[in-house]
Structures are given as C-alpha cells and as structure tokens.
Chain A
Amino acid sequence: MSKTVDIHVHHVTRVEGHGNIRVRATDGVIEKLEWQVPEAPRFFEAMVRGRKYEDIQTVVSRICGICSVTHSLAAIKAIENAMDIPISTQTDRLRILTHYGEQLESHILHVGYLVTPDLLGQKSVVPLVGSHPDVVNVVIDLHRLGNLMMEKLAGRKTHPVRLVPGGFAMLPTAHDLRQLKGELVAAVPKLEALAEVVANLAGGVPHFSRETEFVALVNAPTYPFYHGDVGTTDSDEIVSVLDFENVVNEYVVAHSTAKWSKWHRDSYMVGALARFNLNADYLAPLAKKTASALGLEQGCCNPYMNSVAQVVESVQVVERSIELIDEILTAGIEYQRPEAIIQAGCGAAAVEAPRGILFHRYEFDENGICVRANISIPTNQNHANIQKDFEEMVPQIIDQDQDHIRQQMEMLVRAYDPCISCSTHYLDVEFV
C-alpha cells in the first residue's frame, strides 16, 4: 500500500503574520513542498510618498508591532542620512539603549511565549501557567523589563513616541535611568534561570544542519545592533549599508506576497544566529559564558538554534544596557531639542531587528516631502532560506509520521522568529 503525506498548514500559529506550509508526497517521493506567504500586502513604500519627513517614522513604525522601535530607528537614521542631520553622543547612547529594550522584549516573547510550548509539548503558553509557573514568572518578568525600557525611553511599549529625527522628543530623567539599571541588575539571575531551563530543554531542539550564508551588521570590535555595515560568512567583503540593494537582491515568487532575497548563493539567513556567527568574538563576558553553557558555537548551521542565540543575546543586551546607563549617567543628561534643517536628499540605513537586519531608504524633495521609499525586511530575507531548509530537511524525515513532519516544519518556521506582516512590502523588484 502506498504511503501518502499530505500536509497543508493554513496559517502557521505562534508566529507574527500569516504563512502556510504545503507538502505532498507519495511513497517518499516529494511532489510539492512550499513555504507560502499569503499575508495581505499593505504597500507601505507606496503609501509614504507625499508624507512629510517628520511623519515617516510614525507611519513606518506601523509596519510591525513587534519591531516598531527598529523600524522607527531605521527610518530616522535614513532621514538623518538624507538630510545630513547631526546626532549627539547622548542621542546615540539613548537610542541604542531603547533598541536593547526591544531586543530583550522580542527575544523573550519569542523564546518564552512562542517556542517553549513546543519543547514542553504544549500548544501554547496557557497550560504552562499551571504546569511550570516558575518558568512563566521568569518569562513575564524579563518580558516586562524589555517593555519597561521602551516605555521609559521611548514613551510607549509598542510604537515609540519620543524617537524623532535629530534626537529625542523627550528625554528620560536620571531617576528613570537609575530605576532601569536596578531592574536590569536584578534581571541577571532571572536570565541565568531562563538559560538553565533552555539548557535542560535543549535535547528537544531538532538536530538539523544545513550550511548556508549568514548576513548581519558588523562593526568590530563590537557586537552591533545599531551601527555598522553589512557582513557575510561567505566572504571577507563588508558592504556599506548605503548599497544594501546589492545585498538583498529581491525577487518575486508565486504564492508569496513577500519578496525573497539571495546574495552569494540561493538563500541566506539573518537574525540572532547570523549575528552570533559573525560577531560572537565580541560578546560581553556573561553572554559568552551563556553561549558555551548552551552549547552554541560559532559556525552553527542549525536554524533551530536561532532561539538559543536569542537567549545569548538577551544576556548580551542586559549586560551592555547596564554599562550604557552608567556611561549616560556619568556624562549627565543634557536637554537637547531635536533640530532638522530640511533639504532634498536620498539616504539609507540599516538596523538589526530582533529577527535580522532591516534596511530603509528614502528620498525627499526640497520641502522634506518623501518622493520614494524602499524597505527590506529581515523576514523576507529569510523566506528563501526557510524554503531551502525545507527542501533539505523534509526528504530526511519523509518516512516519519505525518504529524511529526508537520510539527518539525512548523517549529522550523517558528525558529526563524518570522514577522510576516513586516515582510509583505517592497520596492525595486529584481526578477530572476
């Protein structure tokens, strides 16, 4: 009797946005294997045309609720690049600190609320409230801390208010920063507890490796999220963020409202694992220790380990935030009103979203009105890599039970921490 595998996961759950998985196979012969993105396209690059420069970050922040700080910062950096708007050291430090808050919030949300249920054999975090209250409490505390950082520094947990071209619409007080520092110091043992939980569950992480290209910001000797240029594990070349279109090489595929990307090979991966593979040498001490305790090594090609890399990065951003607050407090907070002299120009910027490198480009006329925009989202840089992982992994497990295959595939998609509503808007199509 022939064995048929027919999987159609309509709207993968516990991810941001809508993605489908389609597999059809008879007697181990795969006839169809597709990662589909049916998210409703929203056309942001077209919509921001005609908008004043000062409204851009407010609009594009709404590309994604989970990486709204990153989108705002990428837009603001690109606007500042286009109009030559100078930035103070204080602004720079406060932005990085705000951005660390988002990394922490998003990573904990992903690892704690979305991935852990898989490793504990549950369909959501809800049953864990009863069965693993200690774990859930640690996750809630750390998640709340990431939110608190964004609230104190940017005025709101989601969709920042204070981040504007030229600086901050309102500054935090020294009291706010000291309070944050206290919470960050108290978070270290909680992170250690979380790392221990993850270490104990690591046996549940599927063993699957596929050599691929990893792409992230590089800025030696730091582990960058906000500054730097584009590095790759496929060559020593470092590409200026101003030339990002030469990295992302976007193209359109059927069944997907998100564009796909490739650089040196058929696909590449962005996100925590990519950043780790490129920059692990520059991790802070405790983050480095956490990586080795979790068995994460540079050169790791198991995409499921992206979630583990996020735990390491959570430690990294907490360690660095404590140092950064000391630097800001030592320098003293000085009132600075953001100023911008409007001029025509074109500018680009890159910032690491929790789920990978994000690029924004804008062109403005002499009145500061946006005439053109181009945005390249991390999740869509990952789509091709997810498909290639499927093509290598599914034949290895095709003899197994259909539910198991489906679960491994859903977990793979989830490991990439996709942000699919982000990934469905682009410009500058390159067809292959």
Chain B
Amino acid sequence: MAKPRIAIFDLACCEGCQLQIVNMEDELVQLLTLVNPVEWREAMSDQSSNYDIAIIEGSVTRSADEMRVRDIRIRAKYVIALGACAMQGGVNKLKNNFSLQEVKKEVYGYAADQAQFDTFRTKALAEVIKVDFEVPGCPIEASELAHVIKCLLTGRRPKLAEHPVCVECKMKGNCCRYEYDEVCLGPITRAGCDARCPSNGFWCFGCRGILPDANMDAAREAAALHGKSFAVLQSKLELFGSE
C-alpha cells in the first residue's frame, strides 16, 4: 500500500490512547514519513472523508455515534479498534450495571430527560461494525499500534499475544500479587503489556481484555488458594468491560 491515508476518530473515551500516539514523539515523526494523516481532530485542523485506515478510540454509547462509525466503516478499507473502550467497552461498560434512566437521573437530576443526555447501553466497536484489527489496553502500548501499522504497510497480518499476563510477570521475576493478599487478573488477561501493573506493585485489573480461551479454572483455583472468592474476581473483571 503506497502511503496510506490515515484518519483517527474518537467516541466516548478519555482520549488517553490518542495521547500515546503523541507520546511516540520522534518515532511518530518517522511514522509520518510512511503514512499520510488526513484527519485527527485532537491534533490537527485538517479534515477528510477519504481515507484508507480508520483508527477509532472509544465506545459507542449514542445512536448518532453508531451512525458515524457505520459511515466510517463504509469509507475505510481497514478499521482499527484503539484501546479498551473500543475493543471491549472499557470502563464505560460499568454503566450497563444500572438502568439508563437511573444513571441519567443520578448525574443530571431532573434534567435527565433533556435530549442532549441521550445514551444507550455501552457497546464495544465490534458490536456495531466489523473491526479488522485491535490494539488492546487502557491505555494502549504505542509499540503495539506501531506494530499493527507496520504490518498493514508490509502486507502482514498483525497478531496479538495469546498467553496471559502471568507469563510475562513470571519472566520478570515479580512476586505474585496474591502473595500480597490481593486479587489479580493476570492469569486470564491477554499479555503484551510486559506485566506493567504487577511490575509496578499493583494487581492486574484486566484492561487488555480476557483471553478468548482463558483458563478460568486456574484463575478460580489461584483465588481460592488465597482465600478469595470468585465473586471478587468477577467484580474486578467488570472494571474494564470483560465478563
């Protein structure tokens, strides 16, 4: 593909994943010699309706946004879901634990029914349109996005890690978080972050999403061995949109 046109869009999110693109700094400057950015509202005033690759950050929470992503899908050859909010709904899915009327009332009081607060149950991008590639994490690891783009440029298919965070954590020689009397989602969460949180003294909260073939029995066993209930594990799983 010759200098593909790239557009970056955002839905309901914190824009922290786009910030990781900015944070690539001079690597970004190099990347810009290989691709042609045509729309990126957070960083540029240019706009375009003609692009090859659409990178979408955020979850779909409104009908207007649902229409917008359907339109983007028609225009783009490839759609990349950027980060946890787009990939599995992220923290935005916590809203789905409550009735929509109740969350609107809690936040906006008796103005809750005004049109601008229109919202529906949080959906991941793939619940609305076909997604070609995913970059997991909250926020993403910029190196993984760079990998996906490099693969697209060279006609290869990018592949995500298919082993759990536990593997990377053990390789780094960290002491298991369960030994600290904590609940950790490392046994079932997709690796690729180099066990960032456990390596910084904190439990894994599953921001990269649960593995498709996660060994739930092992996770249950690890929790039980340390006197933790499966319900606590499930409550942590909800934090970033996994079920």
Q: Which A residues are within 8 Å of any B CB, using their own CB? A: 11, 13-17, 38, 40-43, 45-52, 55, 58-59, 62-66, 68, 109, 113-114, 117, 123-126, 129, 140, 143-144, 147, 155-159, 161-162, 164, 168-170, 252, 254-257, 259, 421-422, 425-429, 431
Given the complex, which residues of A lie within 8 Å of B205, measured CB to CB? 55, 58
Q: Are B19 and A256 closer than 8 Å at their CB atoms?
A: no
B19-68 interface (Cβ within 8 A of A): 19-20, 22-23, 25-26, 29, 32, 37, 40-47, 58, 61-62, 65
Given the complex, which residues of A lie within 8 Å of B236, measured CB to CB? 55
Given the complex, which residues of A lie within 8 Å of B196, measured CB to CB? 155-156, 161
Among B72-80, B99-107, B156-164, which stretch is in contact with chain A?
Answer: B99-107
For B102, give its contact among A46, A113, A143, A162 (CB under 8 Å): A46
Q: Are A143 and B25 closer than 8 Å at their CB atoms?
A: yes
Given the complex, which residues of A lie within 8 Å of B202, measured CB to CB? 155, 161-162, 164, 169-170
Is the CB of B114 closer than 8 A to any CB of chain A? yes
Given the complex, which residues of B lie within 8 Å of A63, measured CB to CB? 14
In the complex, what's the smallest C-beta–C-beta distance from B63 to chain A, in angstroms?
11
The binding surface of chain A is classed by DSSP as: loop
Q: Which B residues are within 8 Å of any A CB, using their own CB? A: 11-20, 22-23, 25-26, 29, 32, 37, 40-47, 58, 61-62, 65, 90-92, 94-95, 97-98, 102-104, 106-111, 114, 116-117, 119, 138-139, 196-197, 199-202, 205, 235-236, 239
Given the complex, which residues of B lie within 8 Å of A55, measured CB to CB? 205, 236, 239
In the complex, what's the smallest C-beta–C-beta distance from B25 to chain A, in angstroms?
5
Closest to B122 in A: A42
Given the complex, which residues of A lie within 8 Å of B17, measured CB to CB? 65
Could you list 22 A-B pairs, sorted by A, with CB under 8 Å? A40-B65, A47-B94, A47-B97, A47-B98, A50-B97, A51-B239, A59-B94, A62-B16, A125-B43, A126-B32, A143-B23, A147-B23, A155-B199, A155-B202, A158-B16, A158-B19, A168-B201, A254-B114, A257-B116, A426-B107, A429-B108, A429-B109
Q: Are A42 and B95 closer than 8 Å at their CB atoms?
A: yes
In the complex, what's the smallest C-beta–C-beta distance from A98 to chain B, in angstroms?
13
In the complex, what's the smallest C-beta–C-beta distance from B122 to chain A, in angstroms?
9
User: Bound complex: CA of A169 vs CA of B189, how far in Å?
Assistant: 21
For A425, give its contact among B61, B98, B107 (CB under 8 Å): B107
Q: Are B37 and A126 closer than 8 Å at their CB atoms?
A: yes
Given the complex, which residues of B lie within 8 Å of A113, measured CB to CB? 22, 43
In the complex, what's the smallest C-beta–C-beta distance from A129 to chain B, in angstroms?
6
In the complex, what's the smallest C-beta–C-beta distance from A195 to chain B, in angstroms?
21
Q: Are A59 and B91 closer than 8 Å at their CB atoms?
A: yes
Whether A158 contacts B111 in the complex (CB less than 8 A), given A125-B43, A140-B26, A254-B116, comes out as no
14 A-B pairs besides A14-B42, A40-B58, A42-B95 with CB distance below 8 A are: A13-B42, A13-B47, A16-B15, A42-B61, A45-B106, A51-B94, A59-B91, A62-B16, A125-B43, A143-B23, A157-B20, A252-B108, A257-B116, A421-B13
Q: Interface centre among A59, A62, A113, by most B CB within 10 Å? A: A62
User: Bound complex: CA of A63 vs CA of B13, how far in Å?
Assistant: 8
Given the complex, which residues of A lie within 8 Å of B13, measured CB to CB? 65, 421
Whether A124 contacts B45 in the complex (CB less than 8 A), given A64-B14, A147-B23, A255-B116, comes out as yes
In the complex, what's the smallest C-beta–C-beta distance from A58 to chain B, in angstroms?
6
For A421, give its contact among B14, B139, B235 (CB under 8 Å): B14
User: Bound complex: CA of A277 vs CA of B25, how far in Å?
Assistant: 33
Whether A123 contacts B200 in the complex (CB less than 8 A), given A46-B106, A65-B139, A143-B25, comes out as no
Given the complex, which residues of B lie within 8 Å of A252, measured CB to CB? 108-109, 111, 114
User: Bound complex: CA of A170 vs CA of B117, how far in Å?
Assistant: 40
User: Bound complex: CA of A14 vs CA of B28, how far in Å?
Assistant: 17
Q: Top 7 nearest A-B pairs by Cβ distance? A: A65-B16, A170-B201, A155-B200, A429-B109, A169-B201, A124-B44, A47-B94
User: Bound complex: CA of A285 vs CA of B35, how far in Å?
Assistant: 45
Q: Interface centre among A47, A252, A254, by most B CB within 10 Å? A: A47
Q: Interface centre among B61, B62, B94, by most A CB within 10 Å? A: B94
User: Bound complex: CA of A147 vs CA of B25, how far in Å?
Assistant: 11
Closest to B40 in A: A124
Q: Are A43 and B103 closer than 8 Å at their CB atoms?
A: yes
User: Bound complex: CA of A429 vs CA of B19, how far in Å?
Assistant: 31
Q: Are A123 and B44 closer than 8 Å at their CB atoms?
A: yes
User: Bound complex: CA of A263 vs CA of B224, how far in Å?
Assistant: 53
User: Bound complex: CA of A68 vs CA of B138, how far in Å?
Assistant: 12
In the complex, what's the smallest C-beta–C-beta distance from B5 to chain A, in angstroms?
14
Given the complex, which residues of B lie within 8 Å of A41, measured CB to CB? 61, 107-108, 117, 119
Closest to A419 in B: B15
Closest to B25 in A: A140
Closest to B20 in A: A158
Given the complex, which residues of B lie within 8 Å of A164, measured CB to CB? 202
Given the complex, which residues of A lie within 8 Å of B41, measured CB to CB? 11, 13-14
Given the complex, which residues of A lie within 8 Å of B12, measured CB to CB? 40, 42, 421
Given the complex, which residues of B lie within 8 Å of A124, measured CB to CB? 40, 43-46
Whether A126 contacts B91 in the complex (CB less than 8 A), given A43-B106, A59-B239, comes out as no
Q: Are B19 and A170 closer than 8 Å at their CB atoms?
A: no
Q: Are B16 and A43 closer than 8 Å at their CB atoms?
A: no
User: Bound complex: CA of A45 vs CA of B20, how far in Å?
Assistant: 26
Q: Interface centre among A15, A255, A257, by most B CB within 10 Å? A: A257
Q: Are B14 and A40 closer than 8 Å at their CB atoms?
A: no
Closest to B91 in A: A62
Whether A427 contacts B107 in the complex (CB less than 8 A), given A46-B102, A143-B25, A155-B197, comes out as yes
